[in-house]
Structure 1
Amino acid sequence: MKTEIGALAAGDSYPASQKPDRSAPARPRFVPTVVAAMGLFAGTAEAQEALPVAGRSTDLAVHAHTSWATGPIDHDPASPARTLSGDRVTRIITIPSVTSGQAPNKIEIAPMFSPEVFSGFFPPQWDAHRNTLLEDQYFAPSPTTQHLLPSLNGFRQRLGNYGVGFQMSYKAEALGVASGGKERGMEYIHEVNFRVDLDLKKMLGLDGWSVHGLILERAGRSVGKQKLGDYYINYGEIYGLSGNSAAHLGFLYAEKRLLNNRVDIIFGRMPLSTDFATSPLICTFMLLCSAPVALKLDAGLSVYPKASWGARIRMRPTRDTVLQFGAYQVRPTASDISGWAWAGEETTGAAFPVEFTWQPFFGSKKLVGHYKVGYMHDTSIYADNIGKLSPALAKGNGVFARTSQRDSVWVLFDQMIYRSGGVTQMDGAYVLAGYVHNTPRNSIYSDEAWAGASFAGLIPGRNHDRLGVLYNYYRVSPRLETGQRIREDAGFSLDATVAGPQKTTSVIEVNYGIDAMHGLLIQPEFEYVFRPGGTSRIPNAAVLGVKVIGIL
């Protein structure tokens, strides 16, 4: 049975009374959106909590406008599950929940102008914005919507009534080299984190204000460094910038919604990679989480769980576009390992990222896509990758070291190609690809490119299991390679972490995430590494392992 409240049920086409007027093509495409915009500017752009519908306890009531997707992401708790509250809505439609007890729709930012940009050129029947609204939960995998300890749900609800939300999670990874590399063997890493979200409207009456914080504990060793001789790529998801830490501050920032929830601002201690050049989908892969390696590898960039002072502004100019920009402190990666030594930090400069996203929905199946382009300028002064050369070597090879600032550009996309039966943005199969380019003079990786696919519901009855296949290519900066070759040819030894002049590394990753039970993900992992460490002097390697995520 489909339920309708003043609009359309999920999957319905236009009712006869609302069919587009083909004699006046502009009206069905823009008039309804203008009317919706009038409602927004009248102050009715906020979404209500999920409303009960008679006879359908699992129906979710959502606002008529679409929104940028965020949710309780298992890989990076810095992306909060945000829900707006309000007294009125302009239009309600109901969408059946995929799983009983699933979290309600998360609405983030209302559009500033209702007409679309690129999607406005589509025939009305192509764009799912025009008839039914897709639920906005863009995260993976599904255990993040449930908990291992449902007995705590009542306690969570009582705290939530006072504006306090919390989440505890445990993540473990075991990866081992089965063949090739420097040596055989396995390494183990784990992360335990505790997150708190405070709704200051409920607590103190401060409308639009909230505070988010996370503390984590990490321990273990990197299989890349220990077994593969690769000091650039982690190969696992957890081990990285923070190293072993008993109580690392992952983030602590405030959030403010302005202009009837059309503008979202966050500021405080936070990672840049939570919002830029990333998505929940890419974090179903160990190699990409929580940001492309080419961006997070170089010293200074604020990548989860390494936080720095910063601010980010996000807005939705139209229903199908998102624009965000920010400013972040840049500091040496090794400084302030615990995340608490704010007064002793060394600041080298500031990073200024900007990113534009187009988010279309195609057809009656609501096949969603995310197409992103971004740019970032880092004002820090970095040394030349050519390294320190004697005047004779530099002159003989025609190269001279010069310090410079750093620029990065990225293009990412993912597009759903089929839907596996659910209504959320993760209930289906995607193709995805991306490319990152950094200033070659001072970046370890000048280029990174990847392409892959993510399939949900391949096995009947297992709609929330997900198969992922990814090919990732890394190009060491030609400037860095040139410096290494000059020194080696001159008879000098290279760094102890470098087996030889470095050029490229490629990795194939295959994983299968099993939604074992509510709140528990088990994901077997396979990786095949071509040229570990960027050199052919280390044999190609096969890596096997498993990841386990428990949401308490």
Structure 2
Amino acid sequence: MSALAIALAIPSAHAQYRGPVSETAPLFALDTPTSYANTPFTPPVESMVLPWERLVKRLNRHGIGIVVDYTSESAMVLNAGHAGDAGYAHQIGVELDLDWEKLVGWRGFVTHAVIVNRAGHNLATDLGEKSLNGFQEIYGGGGNVGVHLVYVYGTQNLLKDRMQVAIGKMPVNIDFANSPLFCTFMNKSNCGIPKSLTRTAAGYGTYPGSTWGARIRYWPLHGVYAQTGLYGVNPYLNTNQYDRTGFRMGTELYTGVYIPTEIGLIPSFGKNQLVGHYKFGVAYDSSNYRDLYYDAAMNPAAATGQPYRWTNGKTQLWLQGDQMIVRNGHGPLQGMYVLAGATKSQGENSPYDWQVYAGLVDRGFFRSRPKDTFGVEWSETFASRQLVASQWIRYRQGRSLPGNATYPQSHLMTFEATYNIHVFRGLSIQPDYQHIWRTNLQADKPQVDAVGLKIHAVL
């Protein structure tokens, strides 16, 4: 899942700094919530073509927002018996935002729509990596399709902007368990959201997939918010069995509802207004999932040969935080942020149990390069103990393993260092290095080093 990482300061009527503003269009126009700040009308991105930018700004004044951009991610393996293997993937995206107050006088109502074209090769598959890790986060659902509908939804601001209601066909991750800092990185483990959430519950629909749903966010105080949502669960999202293009609007394959709830705190410290974002969330998926160990008689299904029993529902938790510790200039991302977090999924029916991560993102470290961004991140994901126990039984019997594994799984670690170079208006080039331990969470897999290059251009 891609993020088009542009971040600019946007003045707020309620606070001098709004914190990290993710202008990730056309991925999604996500404003990480701060004091009374909700999903914005349209992201004011930097454009390569000045006449086009001037036209877009004129359209913005009349309630029409348009963003067109291109992102490519290329990566090459340096070792692990696959030296020289390389992959290229890209996304071309178009976002259309409409402010209906400016268009027809409907105060506080805005609609958002995104379509993308994705194509390319997933390098991770060359190494037998079929879990949540990937060298190119831009590759994923919606790949190799001419036109893919990501979302179409509307937001309504209420109570003097203290409340916002969103409804439509939309991903869960544009609002929950997200951070604009995640997609500083190319590795798929965290970009968009910690991938253990979406890979353990079909209800956590993530970009570029979407289901029908609704979300409500309320600000009782400046810098404090609570939000909850209700989304359809579609286990076939982004598959040919359902609708690879995203334009199928039916709910006949939905299996339940996904209900996430999140509480957030956005403090600001000292004269330099060092902004932080802290959030705790819990979600429940009402769908039925196969147990990873027991059969219907509560015996190990791998030993009895009986089908794994069905379980009803699963719960997920997340705890996340980021904090600016040094300010390098004026603006929400002009400084050094540290970030860390953890997710937990229900082990009996979730292939990935825990995921933990930590990192650092620094923008404007060099005064002569105020828009360059440096980042390092580490992430570790643990397989469910029930899954691992079942795999060991089957492995000792010489049988094939669940979880797309060739050896009992355990945990996966990734490390990434990246540097985003702002070349000129609307264009950035990002060299990248990744080191992976235990691809596909398997101890018998060698460590992998890979180098990559990300290019992002806005029309």
What TM-score do the two structures reach when normalised by structure 1?
0.74
1:478 positional shift: 1.1
| Structure 1: stretches of 5+ with no match in the other structure | 1-58, 83-105, 112-135, 138-142
In structure 1, C-alpha distance between the alignment counterparts of 2:438 and 2:334, rounded to whole Å: 35
Matching residue of 2:372: 465
Aligned-partner Cα distance in 2 for 1:357–1:155: 37
Q: 2:327 aligns with which of 405, 414, 419?
A: 419
Name the count of aligned residue pairs.
442
Aligned residue in 2 for 1:405: 313
Q: Is the 8 A contact 2:290 2:310 kept in 1?
A: yes
Q: Give CA deviations for 1:342-370 in whole Å, capped at 9, x if unaligned.
A: 12640011111111111111101111110
Match of 1:543 among 442, 450, 454: 450
Deviations 1:479-516 (A, max 9, x none): 11111111111221225942210010101111001111
Q: What's the RMSD between the two structures over aligned residues?
A: 3.0
* Alpha carbons 2:428, 2:455 under 8 Å: kept: yes
- Partner-residue secondary structure (3-state), 1:203: helix
- 3-state SS of 1:385 partner: strand
Q: Which of the residues 414, 417, 430 maps onto 2:337? A: 430
Does the C-alpha gap of structure 1 residues 73 and 369 become closer, same or farther in structure 2, counting only changes over 3 Å? same
In 1, Cα distance between the equivalents of 2:139 and 2:149? 16
CA contact (8 A) 2:131 2:441 kept: no
Q: Does 1:268 align with 2:168?
A: yes
User: 1:492/1:404 Cα in 2 relative to 1: closer, same or farther (>3 Å)?
Assistant: same
Matched, 1:150 2:53: no
Give the alignment partner of residue 326 of structure 1, picking from 229, 239, 250. Answer: 229
Using the alignment, how far apart are the partners of 2:251 and 2:10 within structure 1?
48
Task: Please list the CA deviations of residues 98-125 of structure 1 after superposition, one character each: whole Å capped at 9, or x if unmatched.
Answer: xxxxxxxx997369xxxxxxxxxxxxxx
**Equivalent residue in structure 1 for 2:204, among 301, 308, 313:** 301
The CA deviation at 1:460 is 3.5
Q: Indicate how the Cα distance of structure 1 residues 314 and 488 shifts in structure 2: closer, same or farther if over 3 A, else same.
A: same
- For residues 107 and 359 of structure 1, what CA distance do their matches in structure 2 show? 6
The structure that is strand-richer by fraction is 2
Q: Which of residues 272, 288, 293 in structure 2 aligns to 1:365?
A: 272
Residue aligning to 1:20: none
Correspondence for 1:313 among 202, 211, 216:
216
1:150-169 to structure 2, matched below 5 A, reads 150-169=50-69
Counterpart selection for 1:63 from 13, 29, 35? 13
Q: Do 2:226 and 2:263's aligned partners in 1 also have CA atoms closer than 8 Å?
A: yes
Which region of structure 1 is more displaced relative to structure 2, 343-352 or 478-487? 343-352
The reply on whether 1:192 has 2:100 as its aligned counterpart is no
Separation in 2, partners of 1:183, 1:388: 43
Map Cα deviations across residues 316-337 of structure 1 (whole Å, 9 max, x no partner): 1111211111111110133222
Given residue 416 of structure 1, which amino acid in structure 2 is its aligned partner?
M
- SS of the residue corresponding to residue 225 of structure 1 reads helix
- Code of the residue aligned with 2:197 in structure 1: it is L
Question: Which range moved further: 222-231 or 442-451?
Answer: 222-231
**Aligned mates of 1:529, 1:144 — CA distance in 2:** 36
Alignment of 1:76-91 (within 5 A): 77-80=27-30
Cα distance between partner residues in 2 of 1:107 and 1:401 = 44
Distance 1:499 1:507 in 2: 20
2 CA distance for matches of 1:526 and 1:75? 25
Matching of residues 41-440 of structure 1 within 5 Å:
62-65=12-15, 71=21, 73-74=23-24, 77-80=27-30, 109=36, 145-180=45-80, 184-287=84-187, 288-298=190-200, 299-332=202-235, 333=237, 334=239, 335-343=242-250, 345-386=252-293, 394=301, 401-422=309-330, 424-440=331-347
* Pairwise CA distance, 1:61: 6.4
Post-superposition offset of 1:160 = 2.2
1:520 is aligned to 2:427: yes
Matched-pair contact (CA < 8 Å) for 2:36–2:223 = no
Letter in 2 for 1:109: Y
Q: In 2, distance between residues paired with 1:395 and 1:331?
A: 27
The Cα of 1:226 is off from its aligned counterpart by: 2.2
Residues of 1 paired with 2:11 and 2:386: CA distance?
Answer: 55
Contact (CA 8 Å) 2:78, 2:450: kept in 1 or not? yes
Give CA-to-partner distance per residue, 1:13-54, whole Å, 9 cap, x none.
Answer: xxxxxxxxxxxxxxxxxxxxxxxxxxxxxxxxxxxxxxxxxx
- 3-state SS of 2:291 partner: coil
Q: Could you say which structure has the higher helix fraction?
A: 1
Distance in 2 (CA, whole Å) between partners of 1:81 and 1:472 is 24
Counterpart of 1:37? none
Unaligned runs of 5+ in 2: 1-8
Aligned residue for 1:510, secondary structure, equals strand
- Cross-structure match for 2:3: none
Shift of 1:69: 5.1
Give, in whole Å, the separation in 2 of the partners of 1:316 and 1:344. 32
Question: 1:485 & 1:146 partners in 2: Cα distance?
Answer: 52
DSSP-derived class of the 1:458 partner: coil
> Do the aligned residues in 1 keep the contact of 2:35 with 2:266 (CA within 8 Å)?
no
Distance in 1 (CA, whole Å) between partners of 2:347 and 2:11 is: 50
Q: Would you say the 8 A contact 1:159–1:165 is kept in 2?
A: yes
Q: Which has the larger radius of gyration?
A: 1
Q: Please give the per-residue CA displacement for 1:303-326, whole angstroms capped at 9, x wherever unaligned.
A: 011011011111211112111111
Percent identity reads 31
Distance 2:439 2:150 in 1: 30
